[in-house]
Amino acid sequence: MAYQLTKDLETGNALIDREHRELIDAINALLDSCSKGQGRNELEKTAKFLQSYTSKHFSDEEQLQRQNNYPDYVQHKKYHEAFKKTVADIVARLSVNGPTIALVGEINTALAGWLINHIKKEDKKLAAYLSTR
């Protein structure tokens, strides 16, 4: 099942939405590879991309929060740190165990699911706050 940045996931902030689209596209590329029996081959590329790009994306979001005195900055940053740790754990297990079906599934459920929920709850709240600034 491919993920899409539907209207209910758009924040209205061009930078945040563009970066969310990049993250979703990377997950979808992995899922597409899985449907063709090539998931294990794409896993390392996707995991490393997610690791580097989430750091960039979260840094961009956190900068917006600091610049605009976002009142929930500390909690939002904690969510980001937990997600980065999850991605780092996946990358570490990938380097030890190699690409496995379990890791493919974890990216699909743990990472994609987390990202969608985070956008719907936290990033929408952030975007609503930013639109008043």
Q: Beta-carbon neighbour count of residue 114 at 10 Å?
A: 15
| pTM beyond 0.75, yes or no | yes
pLDDT band at residue 28 using 50, 70 and 90 as cut-offs: confident
- Lowest average pLDDT, out of 2-6, 24-28, 66-70, 71-75, goes to 2-6
Vertex 18: Cα angle to 82 and 125 (nearest 5) = 55
Question: 62-101 burial, b if ≥16 CB within 10 A, otherwise e?
Answer: eebbeeeebeebeebbebbeebeebbeebbeebeeeebee
**pLDDT > 70 fraction of the chain, expressed in percent and rounded:** 99
pLDDT digits 0-9 by tens, 52-73 = 998 999 999 999 999 999 999 9
pLDDT band at residue 1 using 50, 70 and 90 as cut-offs: low
